[in-house]
């Protein structure tokens, strides 16, 4: 029983770390960096306006990236870490 609890805690911690912190953080950071560079190249907007636009784009991207990141983390964990300890219902 204690082992199952420990496995669930580790699984949840790894999933949350990847799907809620690491991958979204990197994705939004790179999206903002790319959009700031692109706005600097394509527009003559002043820097504060480019930065606010970049921030708005980063925030607007959040609802669009949630589901793909969650599904990707599930797939990655199912094909790696979860194979080590199995999940309920697997043969």
Q: pLDDT tens digit string along 21-75?
A: 999 999 999 999 999 999 999 999 999 999 999 999 999 999 999 999 999 999 9
Q: Is it the case that residue 76 has pLDDT exceeding 70?
A: yes
Q: So what's the pLDDT on residue 85?
A: 87
Domain ranges of the chain: 1-82
Q: Residue 13: which of 83, 87, 69, 77 has the closest Cα?
A: 77
Q: What pTM did the predictor assign?
A: 0.85
Query: How far lies 32's CA from each of 12, 20, 46, 53, 62, in Å?
Result: 28, 18, 16, 9, 12
């Amino acid at each position: 029983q204690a082992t199952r609890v420990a496995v669930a805690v580790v699984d949840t911690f790894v999933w949350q770390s990847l799907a809620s912190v690491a991958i979204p953080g990197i994705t939004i950071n790179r999206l903002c960096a790319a959009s700031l560079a692109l706005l600097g190249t394509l527009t003559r907007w002043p820097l504060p306006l480019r930065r606010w636009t970049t921030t708005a784009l980063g925030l607007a991207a959040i609802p669009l990236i949630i589901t793909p990141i969650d599904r990707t983390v599930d797939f990655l964990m199912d094909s790696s870490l979860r194979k080590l300890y199995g999940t309920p219902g697997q043969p």
